[in-house]
Amino acid sequence: MTEKHDEVIKSESEQNPLSNGPEIPANWLANFLPMFGGQVISLLGSSLVQFALVWYVTKLTGSATVLATATTAALIPNILIGPFIGALVDRWNRKLVMIFADLVVALATAVLALLFAFNLIQIWHIYVILFIRALAGIFQGPAKTASISLMVPQEHLVRLGGVNQVVNGLTETFSPMLGALLLELLPMQGVLAVDIVTAAVAILLLIFFVKVPQPRTITSGQKVTPRSLLTDVKSGFRYIITWPGLLIAILISSSINLFLAPPGNLLPLLVTDFFKRGATDLALLQAALGIGAILGGVLLGIWGGFKRKIVTVMVGILGISLGIIGIGFVPQNAFTVGVGLAGFTGFMLSFANGSFGPLLQTKVPSEMQGRVFTVLSSMNLGLMPIGLFLSAPIADRFGVPAAYVIGGFFGLAIAIYGFLEKRVMTIDDQLPGGKMPEVSTLPEQITIVE
């Protein structure tokens, strides 16, 4: 009887990969909201800086290749060292990691503001600062994502994903407009100062109002050595590789970044070179993306998505691809149609992004999430520079819309493959590691427990 009972407990633990963390208290929202609010404020500041720097580079050079280089500078840290950072996040205090990351971002932005203030700025300075900000982001993002599954009950994760998409949509809607306004009113160093203030607010909220739990694992808090770090990185890759459904889903995500991310980075040139418009119109197009994301996030937050989260993800990828194809075919004198298609793309983006993260948070053990999320991010971003430098010559030679059409059709083909791949479409039902549960044994186990 005891042996059977132990088997039941083991089975329940396998189906609840998050059970290794501390119990989530009933008043979890009071602890989570300050962290969430601080990160929202910090995200707004970062978005302002991103808009200002992209517009500065676009007006200064007008080159798709330069824009691709700037984007690549922000991707390199994640591609090269992301998995190692994930292993460290799984061992270190996640609250301190987030605080330190926000501090580095604030300091890097302060340096950039000084370079603008003393008229010493050069393009390569922007590349370096983008690299440093991205390096800090590799620590901050996985630490936050891996902590959420230990701070928020599982039944609220998808709705939280929807709320996150609403926040991202609001940021995308208002930060470009606010950025364009601030560029009219303030010098560049004044715009950059906003990001420093918002980062400081996020840090203070984390320090004084948030308790971030740690997973109860053997590795947490142990001394990190090169050998242990390499072992953790290998275990993260092994976990993904030995789970076919998860591996294929990540490869689909990586391929989407290869073909669909470049059009997004070429948006400033689409506005200036094709539509022959200015910063306000770029802000309007980005605002449409944001409004679409808000509406999609609200719907996802209320509805919760399809019963199988992966279906919601794949529907989102399909919609994004169709939206980008549509933008590529918009006539030059139909900017309003392009704005509408951008809104549709943002709407479908909420479905894809708002469901994939919660899917992993409910399937991957919390002590593995830092590694898995950084491996996911590295694989997602690893192909993006290739896509950027493939699309840049196409945009320079055939026009920016051609890059949208080509990328969109590749994304459409990937979405169709995902719907046809059984190992991906059944991932919601799989146990951690990719095994399917033996439903036929469930009644016997329940009887034994009673």
pLDDT value of position 22:
62
The whole-angstrom separation of Cα 388 and Cα 262 is 5
Out of 75-89, 155-169, 265-279, the most confident range is 265-279
Could you tell me which residue, 13 or 341, shows the higher pLDDT?
341
221 versus 51: which is more confidently predicted?
51
Which has more confidence, 73 or 429? 429
Please give the Cα distance from 301 to 167 (Å, whole number): 12
289 vs 404, which has greater pLDDT? 404
76 or 338, which is more confident: 338
Q: What is the pLDDT of residue 46?
A: 84
The pLDDT assigned to 348 comes to 93
For residue 259, which of 392, 409, 401, 79 has the smallest C-alpha distance? Answer: 409
Residue 224 has a pLDDT of 66
pLDDT band at 8; cut points 50, 70, 90: very low
Closest alpha carbon to 409 in 293, 324, 304, 313: 324
Pick the closest to residue 147 from 236, 37, 18, 44 (CA basis): 18
| pLDDT of 4 above 50 | no
CA distance 388 to 263: 8
Question: How far apart (Å, rounded) are the C-alpha atoms in residues 427 and 243?
Answer: 10
Structure confidence at residue 216 as a pLDDT band (50, 70, 90): low
Question: Mean per-residue pLDDT for 30-57?
Answer: 85
On the question of pLDDT at 327 being above 70, the answer is yes
- What integer pLDDT is reported at residue 424 of this predicted model? 92
Given pLDDT bands bounded at 50, 70 and 90, which one contains residue 20?
Answer: low
pLDDT at 230: 78
Residue 205: pLDDT band (50, 70, 90) is very high
Q: What is the mean pLDDT of residues 203-230?
A: 75
Task: Give residue 399's pLDDT.
Answer: 84
Window from 105-109, 366-370, 420-424 with minimum mean pLDDT:
366-370
Segment among 197-206, 275-284, 320-329 with least mean pLDDT: 275-284
Element (H, E) at 9: helix 2-15
**Residues 151-155, mean pLDDT to the nearest whole number:** 82
How high does pLDDT run on average in the chain? Answer: 80
Alpha carbon distance 392, 136 (integer Å): 27
* pLDDT (tens digit per residue) in 376-433: 777 766 677 677 777 878 888 888 899 899 989 999 999 999 999 999 999 988 877 6
Residues in the chain, overall count: 450
Q: Which CATH architecture does the domain made up of 18-212+224-431 adopt?
A: Up-down Bundle (1.20)
Mean pLDDT (whole number) for 55-67: 76
Among residues 252, 274, 295, which one has the least CA distance to residue 383?
A: 252
| pLDDT surpassing 80 at residue 270 | yes
